[in-house]
Amino acid sequence: MKAHYLGHVVFYVKNLEQSLIFYRDVVGFQEVGQIFGGKAAALTSGRTHHELLLIEVGDVPGPPSGMRRGLYHIGIKVGDSLDELRAAKQDLDRAGITIGGMSDHTVSQSLYLHDPDGNEVELYVDDPAVDWKRDPKLVLAPIKPLVL
């Protein structure tokens, strides 16, 4: 497998509106839309369907609940087709790396795993049949299970 580029970063944030003021209004990302009952927002610079996802967690207690403020995961694009994602899965299987989840996000399909330090990594391919540039709100479509 070959990483094409770092696709997106997901942050758990205390207050979504404050974070939107910073990332949207100050830094200049464009808001694609909100999901999870207004508790999460996807943003883009226009390069891809979303480069930043913010998920509000408020004043979470931290471990052992698993939720905390800060980095949730990074997304690395590894190809342009499901065949390339299948090949990446085979590489991970051969390396003995556990895949914790697989999701179909409509605009992309993803494998989720952890690096040696426990950081979550999403390896994904964009769905070439989905025109997110024409309809950016497709990034907010409900998540479906992915079977490879």
- Cross-strand pairs, 112: 101, 122
Task: Give me the count of residues in the chain.
Answer: 148
pLDDT of residue 66: 63
The bridge status of strand 52-56 relative to strand 40-44 is antiparallel
Q: In whole angstroms, what separates CA 134 from the centre of its chain?
A: 20
User: Which structural domains are found in the chain, ordered by start?
Assistant: 5-60+67-145 (3.10.180.10)
Per-residue pLDDT in tens (0 to 9) along the chain, 148 residues: 888 888 899 988 888 999 899 889 877 889 999 999 999 999 998 888 889 999 998 886 655 556 677 888 888 888 889 999 999 999 999 989 899 999 999 999 999 988 865 778 899 999 989 988 889 888 889 999 999 9
Q: What token pair was written down for 111? A: 């494998």
What three-state secondary structure class fits 5? strand
